[in-house]
Amino acid sequence: MSEAIGYELIGDIAVLSAQNPPVNALGLDVRQGLVDGMARAENDGAKAVLIYGEGRTYFAGADIREFGKPPTGPFLPDVCTRIEASPLIVVSALHGTALGGGLEIALGSHYRVAVPSARVGLPEVLIGVMPGAGGTQRLPRLIGVDASVDIITSGRQVGAKEALELGILDRVEDGAPRDIGLAYARELIDSGAPRRAISEMAAPQAVDFDALYDVVLKKSRGMIAPAKAVRGVQACCELPFDQGMIRERELFMELMASDQRQGMIHAFFSERAVGKLPELKGVEPRDLNAIGVIGGGTMGAGIATSALLSGLSVVMLEMSPEAAEAAKGRIEGNLGGALKRGKLSQAQFEDLTTKALTLSTDYSALGDVDLVIEAVFEDMDVKKTVFTQLDAVCKPGAVLASNTSYLDINEIAASTNRPSDVIGLHFFSPAHVMKLLEIVVADKTAPDVVATGFALGNRMKKTSVRAGVCDGFIGNRILSTYRTCADHMILDGASPYQIDKALTDFGFAMGPFAVADLAGLDIGWAVRKRKRAEGLDPRARDSSYADKLCEDGNFGQKTGKGYYVYEAGKRAGVSNPDVMPLIEAERAEQGLTSREFADDEIVRRYMAAMVNEAAKVVGEGIARRPLDVDVTLLYGYGFPRYRGGPLKWADMVGLPELLADIKKWAEEDDYFWQPAPLLEQLVAEGRTFDDLNKESA
Ligand code: T1G
Q: Residue 317 and residue 312: Cα distance in Å, rounded?
A: 16
Q: Measured between alpha carbons, how far apart are the two ends of the chain, in Å?
A: 32
Pocket perturbation via mutation, ligand 1, pick of 31, 64, 129, 641 by most ligand atoms within 8 A of CB: 64
Residue ranges for the chain with pLDDT beneath 70: 1
Q: Round the average pLDDT of the chain to a whole number and report it.
A: 96
CA dihedral 373, 379, 383, 386 (to 10 degrees): -100
Helices (H) and strands (E) in the chain, counts: 29, 19
**633 CA distance to ligand 1 middle (Å):** 22
- Residue percentage of the chain with pLDDT more than 90: 94
Q: Residue 136 and residue 149: Cα distance in Å, rounded?
A: 9
The residue whose CA is least distant from atom 41 of ligand 1 is: 61
The residue whose CA is least distant from atom 51 of ligand 1 is: 60
Annotated catalytic, 284? Answer: no
The residue whose CA is least distant from atom 18 of ligand 1 is: 22
Longest CA–CA separation in the chain, Å? 90
Q: Residue 209 and residue 234: Cα distance in Å, rounded?
A: 6
Strands of the sheet containing 119-121, edge to edge, are 97-99, 119-121, 158-159
Q: Residue 492 and residue 573: Cα distance in Å, rounded?
A: 25
pLDDT at 1: 64
Locate the DSSP E strands across 511-601: 564-565, 574-575
Q: Which of 27, 236, 239 is nearest to 131 (CA)?
A: 236
Closest ligand 1 atom to residue 76 Cα is 20
> At 8, is the secondary structure helix, strand, or coil?
strand
**270 CA distance to ligand 1 middle (Å):** 12
Closest ligand 1 atom to residue 133 Cα is 20
The residue whose CA is least distant from atom 30 of ligand 1 is: 131
Choice among 124, 173, 374, 378 that is catalytic: 124
> At 17, is the secondary structure helix, strand, or coil?
strand
**346 CA distance to ligand 1 middle (Å):** 35
pLDDT at 331: 97
By the 10 Å C-beta count (0-12 exposed, 13-18 middle, 19+ buried), 230 is classed as buried
Which residues line the pocket of ligand 1, CB cutoff 6 A?
Answer: 22-23, 25, 60-65, 76, 97, 99-101, 104, 123-124, 127, 129, 131-133, 135, 272
Closest ligand 1 atom to residue 135 Cα is 30
Pocket perturbation via mutation, ligand 1, pick of 23, 56, 69 by most ligand atoms within 8 A of CB: 23
Residue 1 makes CB contacts below 8 A (sequence gap 6+) with: 7, 33, 36, 37, 40
Closest ligand 1 atom to residue 101 Cα is 26
Q: Which of 165, 144, 158 is nearest to 94 (CA)?
A: 158
Q: Residue 441 and residue 30: Cα distance in Å, rounded?
A: 42
Choice among 104, 173, 374, 613 that is catalytic: 104
**77 CA distance to ligand 1 middle (Å):** 19
Say which amino acid occupies 384.
K
**695 CA distance to ligand 1 middle (Å):** 22
**66 CA distance to ligand 1 middle (Å):** 12
Closest ligand 1 atom to residue 157 Cα is 23
**113 CA distance to ligand 1 middle (Å):** 22
Q: Residue 163 and residue 656: Cα distance in Å, rounded?
A: 50
**23 CA distance to ligand 1 middle (Å):** 7
Annotated catalytic, 620? Answer: no
The residue whose CA is least distant from atom 53 of ligand 1 is: 272
CB 663 within 8 A of CB 674: no
Closest ligand 1 atom to residue 23 Cα is 17
The Cα angle at residue 182 between residues 178 and 184, in degrees rounded to 5: 120
pLDDT at 568: 81
Closest ligand 1 atom to residue 77 Cα is 20
Radius of gyration of the chain (CA): 28
**637 CA distance to ligand 1 middle (Å):** 25
Q: Which residues pair with 114 in a beta bridge?
A: 94, 172
**63 CA distance to ligand 1 middle (Å):** 8
The residue whose CA is least distant from atom 28 of ligand 1 is: 272
Q: Which of 653, 627, 510 is nearest to 268 (CA)?
A: 627
The residue whose CA is least distant from atom 16 of ligand 1 is: 22
The residue whose CA is least distant from atom 29 of ligand 1 is: 272
By the 10 Å C-beta count (0-12 exposed, 13-18 middle, 19+ buried), 569 is classed as exposed
Closest ligand 1 atom to residue 56 Cα is 35
Q: Are strands 13-18 and 5-10 parallel, antiparallel or unpaired?
A: antiparallel
Q: Which of 420, 412, 424 is nearest to 468 (CA)?
A: 424
Residue 24 makes CB contacts below 8 A (sequence gap 6+) with: 18, 30, 53, 54, 55, 57, 58, 59, 60, 102
DSSP for residue 697: -
The residue whose CA is least distant from atom 46 of ligand 1 is: 61
CB 451 within 8 A of CB 283: yes
The residue whose CA is least distant from atom 9 of ligand 1 is: 23
**625 CA distance to ligand 1 middle (Å):** 22
Closest ligand 1 atom to residue 276 Cα is 27
Q: Residue 631 and residue 618: Cα distance in Å, rounded?
A: 13
Write out the DSSP string of 412-468: HHTTSS-GGGEEEEEE-SSTTT--EEEEE--TT--HHHHHHHHHHHHHTT-EEEEE-
The residue whose CA is least distant from atom 22 of ligand 1 is: 60
**117 CA distance to ligand 1 middle (Å):** 18
Evaluated on CA atoms 163, 167, 168, 169, the torsion sign reads positive
Buried b (16+ CB within 10 A) or exposed e, 104-137: bbbbbbbbbbbbeebbbbbbbbbbbbbbbbbbbb
Query: How many CB atoms within 10 Å of residue 301?
Result: 26
Q: Residue 19 and residue 443: Cα distance in Å, rounded?
A: 44
Q: Which of 435, 406, 403 is nearest to 422 (CA)?
A: 403
φ and ψ of 430, to 5 deg: -75, 130
Element (H, E) at 138: helix 135-143
CB 316 within 8 A of CB 291: no
pLDDT at 577: 95
Say which amino acid occupies 617.
V
The residue whose CA is least distant from atom 21 of ligand 1 is: 62
The residue whose CA is least distant from atom 27 of ligand 1 is: 272
CB 540 within 8 A of CB 532: no
CB 380 within 8 A of CB 411: yes
φ and ψ of 415, to 5 deg: -85, 5
**261 CA distance to ligand 1 middle (Å):** 15
Write out the DSSP string of 43-81: HTT-SEEEEEESTT-S--SB-GGGTTSPP-SSPHHHHHH
Residue 374 makes CB contacts below 8 A (sequence gap 6+) with: 294, 295, 383, 386, 387, 390, 400, 401, 402, 403
